[in-house]
Chain A
Amino acid sequence: MMNPSTAMAKAKSSTNAGSLKGQLRRAERMKRLKYGALILPLVVFLLLTFVWPIAALLERSIENPEIVDAFPATSALLRSWDGRSLPDDSVFAAFADEAGRIKGTPLFASAAKRLNMELPGFRTLMMRTARALPVEAGTSARTALVAADERWDEPSTWQYLARNASRYTARYLLASVDRKYDDRGEIVRAGDDEAIYVAVFRRTFGMSAIVTVCCLLLGFPLAYLMATQPTKIANVLLIFVLLPFWTSILVRVAAWIVLLQSEGLVNQALMHLGITAHPLQLVFNSTGVYIAMVHILLPFMILPLYSVMKGISPTYMRAALSLGCPPFRSFWRVYFPQALPGVGAGCLLVFILCMGYYITPALLGGPKEQMASYFVAFYTNQTINWGMAAALSAILFVATLLLYMIYSRLVGHQDLAATAR
């Protein structure tokens, strides 16, 4: 039974609840605005330099504006074309009209280049056609075009235009996984001469995995040592771990070339010690890439491991031993599970960095060691094929996101279970 005074207090508090909540919101809003204002410059900076470029690049991987921009009316007509018989005269007329108007402009040139990517020789076709334009009065557009180049009389020529008549295409993404549209617009496996990217990605992931495992095997004992040593010694070790960070990556890669080449220090030492009679091929192959990548990425493994391990009290191991568990088993059952977030973070970091590595394999590897990023650079710098570059990047980006999600599921979840509050 509720006595009258508590009943009244309750009623009063419930009428006040709305205004109390409002007050809280107002108080919090001020605080949030203040914090928001403080981080605003950073947010803007990140938006401009990080989020926006990535979004723009991702858009490039599906963007296909050249034909639509150059021939908007023709594109609109071609979109309703059945694709089998020759398009009707209105299409010819629209194309002749638009091509005649923009010939000689960059718009026309980029459309020609774009079509040439689909079918080598298309640029010549376009240039030849341009010369015959505009159509003289009295002749039909069809006659004029076919007179300029008889390939306009074939439906397949128009199909190339039609296929690119929409602003967005999955073509680049498909090409990144060795798929393409066939003449009927269906997705098929690319021919052997084009199908290289699956192998490239497989190599990228494989090499990243090997480098990650090597880093873990080498880094774990050192991180453990650092975590169990007195602070003074741990700090000295930490400086040695960080030392490579203070040198440019290019210098380090160059140093590895000097060290590992046929007449390099390593080979001389090996031969001097009688371990090998002839110099070993240590550079410009996978060995060189692995050595340098592991060396460069090792700190990224050690630091997260160390930071997690430092938080694990040595008492846990002692407790496990005192409970009768032999040392190695204690380590495996009590220490290692607690170090797992560090292992996950380190592996993830190294693997992701590895996937995007460009300079080290480019300088130290042979053609067989080039990873996905090499092709990104190739398409960006040499063929100026933004679509392919963006599509390959997008695949790397998605792979990274997936890995991160798996990591946060596995480690994050376990972490949560252990520290559930």
Chain B
Amino acid sequence: MSSSDSPTNETPHVTFRKVQKTYDGENLIVSDLNLDIRRGEFLTLLGPSGSGKTTCLMMLAGFETPTGGEIMLGGEVINRVPPHKRNIGMVFQNYALFPHMSVRENLRFPLSVRKLSIAEIDSKVARAMDMVQLGAYGDRYPQQLSGGQQQRIALARALVFDPQLVLMDEPLGALDKQLREHMQLEIKHIQQELGITVVFVTHDQSEALTMSDRIAVFDRGVIQQIADPATLYEKPANNFVANFIGENNVLEGMVESVDGDYCQVRLDNGARLLASVGNPVHAGARTVLSVRPESVQLNIQSLGCVNRLGGYVKEIIYLGDHLRVRVELSGRKEIIVKAPAAQHKHRFDTGDAIHVGIIPEQLRALNPVIGA
């Protein structure tokens, strides 16, 4: 899967070339991975558990060895470089702060290993602690800090020895929602300020969308799509990405004709729809049409749409700013519609007949097989 962004002349910071990894000699956890990570970018590896994203991170960190292919850092192959010589900062899922050392000792650790002078160590440690706004906590032990504070110290420790590349393995997973959202922005700001490259692993798509310059969506050891958040959401490359990022309605059918960027699709319930071509399709092939819930128009708003369908309201859930409406189309096919509450409140009720409309640009015909 090629990147949709324009190539740069600069050599990539990290390159995966045909990297493979298997644990049992039978199943590939990562198969034929090609990935360029640019200097200074925030790249997120996103995918369900077992999709190979963490394995990729561990291979980059040096804790797992690729069974095939090569990994390059700054143009040099690092397959055989042991982890402690890679100079890559890493933030772990459960922080991995050393419990027998105080916060300050934890931060001094990577510097004393590098045999820096005492004065230099002290100034760097102080700077790192100020950066995460925990300057007063040097003498505490990790267990005496809250989850968010431990997380920040872990971040400071991964940055204190000035690595150019920092890896983060679901670092926010253990925090509550509010703190997590706060930390997402804080990490993003620190990354931009320092100009470092960050490779971030998560299974939380909203986290990925919030923080990333680019997101690589993994499934079953293969990158399904790598793109910036907007492209990923608006133009998912395949059915898996469409389903994994954000909410998605799927309508199955057969391609009747293709005309440039558009195609005519006959749904299984008989309705004919005009859709934009997402994956290359040809007449007579099965396809799935993908549409986001907020792109479906109801009643009056649907009047201008090329594709209009009739259905019944099965359920309405009021969510403050919007309504979630479950609509049953003919053929017992259900779709979810997100409608602005202000426009639609009290206009229809459960059981009412309703019109839905979708413009072709927001209805994408994709390959039915997950994983193109």
Which residues of A does B touch, CB under 8 Å?
A: 313, 315-316, 318-327, 329-330, 333-334, 337-338, 414, 417-421
A391 to chain B, nearest CB (A): 42
Residues of B near A316 (CB, < 8 A) are 96, 98
**A392 CB → nearest B CB, Å:** 40
A315-B94, A420-B141, A420-B143 known; A324-B100 Cβ under 8 A = no
Using CB atoms, name the residue of chain A closest to B83: A321
Query: Is A324 a contact partner of B143 (Cβ separation < 8 A)?
Result: no
Q: Which segment of B108-116, B226-234, B268-276 sits at the interface? A: B108-116
Taking the complex as formed, is B240 at the interface, i.e. its CB lies under 8 A from any CB of chain A?
no
Considering only residues 200-225 of chain B, those with a C-beta below 8 Å from chain A are none
Q: Are B83 and A418 in contact (CB under 8 A)?
A: no
**Closest 6 CB pairs between A and B?**
A323-B110, A319-B96, A322-B90, A315-B96, A321-B83, A325-B113
Task: Indicate which residue in A324, A337, A421 contacts B113 across the interface (CB closer than 8 Å).
Answer: A324
Taken together as a complex, chains A and B put the C-alpha atoms of A27 and B358 apart, in Å, by 66
List, sorted by A's number, 7 A–B pairs whose CB atoms are closer than 8 Å: A315-B94, A318-B96, A319-B98, A326-B84, A327-B84, A338-B98, A419-B143
> Are B88 and A418 in contact, with the CB atoms below 8 A?
no
Taking beta carbons and an 8 Å cutoff, which residues of B are in contact with A?
Answer: 61-63, 82-90, 92-94, 96-100, 109-110, 113-114, 141, 143-144, 157-158, 161, 167
Query: Which chain A residues lie closer than 8 Å to B63 at the CB level?
Result: 318, 321
B-chain residues with CB within 8 Å of residue A419 when the two chains form the complex: 99, 141, 143
How far is B106's CA from A337's CA once the two chains are assembled, in angstroms? 14
Partner of A315, one of B87, B92, B114, B141: B92
Are the C-beta atoms of A418 and B99 separated by less than 8 Å? Answer: yes
Task: Report the minimal beta-carbon distance from A244 to chain B, rounded to whole angstroms.
Answer: 33
- Report how far A33 CA is from B344 CA in the complex, Å: 64
- A318 CA to B154 CA, complexed, in Å: 13
Other contacts beyond A324-B84, A330-B84: 19, CB < 8 A:
A315-B92, A315-B93, A318-B63, A319-B98, A322-B84, A322-B88, A322-B90, A322-B158, A323-B109, A324-B85, A324-B110, A324-B114, A324-B161, A325-B110, A327-B82, A338-B98, A418-B143, A419-B99, A419-B141
CB-nearest residue of chain A relative to B99? Answer: A418
- Among B97, B98, B157, chain A packs the most CB atoms within 10 A around the CB of B98
Could you tell me the distance between the alpha carbons of A316 and B61 in the complex, rounded to whole angstroms? Answer: 14
Measured between beta carbons, the chain A residues less than 8 angstroms from B96 are: 313, 315-316, 318-319
Known: A315-B92, A318-B83, A323-B157. A329 touches B141 (CB 8 A): no
- With A and B bound together, what is the CA distance between A323 and B84 in angstroms? 7
Q: How far is the CB of B10 from chain A (nearest CB, A)?
A: 26
**A interface SS class:** helix
- On chain A, the residues within 8 Å of B157 by CB distance are 323
Q: Which chain B residues lie closer than 8 Å to A421 at the CB level?
A: 143-144
User: Looking at the complex, which one of B82, B86, B100, B110 makes contact with A414 (CB distance below 8 Å)?
Assistant: B100
With both beta carbons as reference points, the residue of chain A lying nearest to B154 in the complex is identified as A319
Q: Which of A324, A325, A327, A418 contacts B87 (CB 8 A)?
A: A324
Chain B proximity of A330: nearest CB distance (Å) = 7
Once bound together, how far apart are the Cα atoms of A418 and B85, in whole Å? 29
| A320, B61: Cα distance in complex, Å | 12
**Which B residues are CB-close (under 8 A) to A334?**
98
Instruction: List residues of chain B with CB within 8 A of the CB of A318.
Output: 61, 63, 83, 90, 92, 96
Cβ contact within 8 Å between B61 and A418: no
A322-B61, A418-B143 as given contacts; A329 in contact with B98, CB under 8 Å? no
Contacts of B113 in A (CB 8 A): 323-326, 329
Residues of B within 8 A of A418 (CB): 99-100, 141, 143
With both chains docked as a complex, state the minimum distance between the C-beta of B88 and any C-beta of chain A, in angstroms: 7
Task: Point out the residues of chain B lying under 8 angstroms from A326, CB to CB.
Answer: 84, 113
Q: Is the CB of B83 within 8 A of A322?
A: yes
Q: Which of A320, A323, A338, A414 contacts B161 (CB 8 A)?
A: A323
* Chain B neighbourhood of A313, CB < 8 A: 94, 96
Interfacial chain A residues near B92, Cβ < 8 Å: 315, 318-319
List the A residue with the shortest CB-CB distance to B169: A315
How far apart are the CA atoms of A311 and B55 in the complex, in Å? 23
Which interface residue of B86, B96, B143, B157 has the most chain A CB atoms within 10 A?
A: B96
In the docked arrangement, what's the CA distance between A51 and B191, Å? 64
Q: Output the least CB separation between B58 and chain A (Å).
A: 9
**Distance in angstroms between the alpha carbons of A324 and B96 in the assembled complex:** 15
Out of A329, A414, A420, name the residue touching B144 (CB < 8 Å). A420
A319 / chain B contacts, CB cutoff of 8 Å: 90, 92, 96-98
Kindly state the separation between the CA atoms of A321 and B86 in the bound complex, as whole angstroms.
9
**Docked complex Cα distance between A324 and B62 (Å):** 12
Distance between B369 CB and nearest chain A CB, rounded to angstroms: 35
Query: Which residue of chain A has the shortest Cβ distance to B109 in the bound complex?
Result: A323
User: What is the CA–CA distance of A316 and B99 in the complex, to the nearest angstrom?
Assistant: 9
Smallest beta-carbon distance A233→chain B, Å = 15
B97: which A residues are within 8 A, CB to CB? 319
User: How many Å lie between the Cα of A279 and that of B135 in the bound state?
Assistant: 69
The interface residues of chain A lying within 8 Å CB-to-CB of B61 are: 318, 322
Residue of B nearest to A326 (CB): B84
A417 CA to B161 CA, complexed, in Å: 27
List B contacts of A338 (CB < 8 A). Answer: 98-100
Alpha-carbon distance between A419 and B140 when the two chains are bound, in angstroms: 11
Query: Are A325 and B141 within 8 A (Cβ)?
Result: no
A417 nearest CB across to chain B (Å)? 7
Instruction: Give complex CA distance A420, B101 in Å.
Output: 12
Least CB separation from A336: chain B residue: B100
Q: Complex: how many Å from CA A323 to CA B89?
A: 7
Q: Which residue of A lies closest to B140 (CB)?
A: A420
Q: Does the CB pair B84–A337 fall under 8 Å?
A: no
**B333 nearest CB across to chain A (Å):** 46
Chain B residues near A324 (CB-CB < 8 A): 84-85, 87, 110, 113-114, 161
CA distance A330 to B62 in the complex (A): 15
Residues of B within 8 A of A330 (CB): 84
**Complex interface: chain A residues within 8 A of B89 (CB):** 322-323
Alpha-carbon distance between A396 and B100 when the two chains are bound, in angstroms: 34
- Tell me, in angstroms, the Cα distance from A324 to B116 when the chains sit together: 13
In whole Å, how far is B116's beta carbon from the nearest beta carbon of chain A? 11
A333 to B87, CA, bound (A): 19
- Distance between Cα atoms of A324 and B163 in the complex (Å): 11
In the bound assembly, the distance between CA atoms of A261 and B143 in angstroms comes to: 55
CA distance A419 to B82 in the complex (A): 32
A318 to B144, CA, bound (A): 23
List B contacts of A329 (CB < 8 A).
Answer: 113
- The smallest beta-carbon distance between A159 and chain B, in angstroms, is 61
Least CB distance, B115 to chain A, in whole angstroms = 10
The distance in angstroms between the C-alpha atoms of A418 and B88, with both chains bound, is 27
Shortest distance between the CB of A340 and any CB in chain B (Å): 8
Chain B residues with CB below 8 A from A323, complex form: 84, 89, 109-110, 113, 157-158, 161
